[in-house]
Amino acid sequence: MNATHIPAVPETPNRTYPRWIETLRDRTKILIRPLTADDRNAEKAFIEGLSDEARHYRFLGQVKSPSDSLLRQLTELDYVHQVAFAAVVNDNLHDRIVGVSRFSTDASGVQCECAVTVTDDWQHKGLGTVLMRHLIAVARSLGIERMVSIDDAQNVQMRELASYLGFSCRVDPDDSTQVIHELTIQPQA
């Protein structure tokens, strides 16, 4: 991967977010790094490149092309209450996002809502698991106690991933077409 195309790691007081090189199930190596405002165009291409089903599962509705407002919301993060990691591959000398995990905390900072999305051609390689494990570790380091994900009840891949990572699952009491996955995060020892 060409490191010269990678945006700077966002820093907040007393915190720098690392980058990881991960080896997936098929032995492919991939860079996991913080998503930044410099990634706006790459995030747009990522969302537009998702299948209709993947976009539906990610946004619980149909988003063909994200608005400028949504792109700002997804890429301009404070890395205290909002965290996002991108899985990046070098594609013809340009970075291409093939997966994203993210969370946003509630006002108390004790609970966060999370999401993970992987492009269709990078699924079944363990990338969603890798992205979520880093997200959970960062949530733990920030003292977050509970992580939730609200998902389409038909999203079998998310149900399997959430179960594998130890999330419980229940039907959303406000919408029976959705489920709520919840993980109690144990503090660091």
Q: Is the pTM for the entire model greater than 0.85? A: yes
Please, what are the domains in the chain? 15-184 (3.40.630.30)
Residue from 158, 129, 177 nearest 54 by CA: 158
pLDDT at 156: 94
pLDDT digits 0-9 by tens, 114-170: 999 999 999 999 999 999 999 999 999 999 999 999 999 999 999 999 999 999 999
- On the question of pLDDT at 3 being above 60, the answer is no
What lies within 8 Å, CB to CB, of 72 at 6+ separation is 37, 40
pLDDT digits 0-9 by tens, 56-99: 888 887 677 899 999 999 999 998 899 999 999 988 878 899 99
Model confidence band, residue 16 (pLDDT cutoffs 50, 70, 90): low
pLDDT at 94: 82
How many CB atoms are closer than 10 A to CB 187? Answer: 9
Q: Where are the alpha helices (DSSP H) in 35-126?
A: 40-49, 52-59, 68-75
- C-alpha dihedral sign at 5, 115, 29, 124: negative
* Spatial contact of 71 and 40, defined as CB atoms under 8 Å apart: yes
pLDDT digits 0-9 by tens, 32-57: 999 999 999 999 999 999 998 998 88
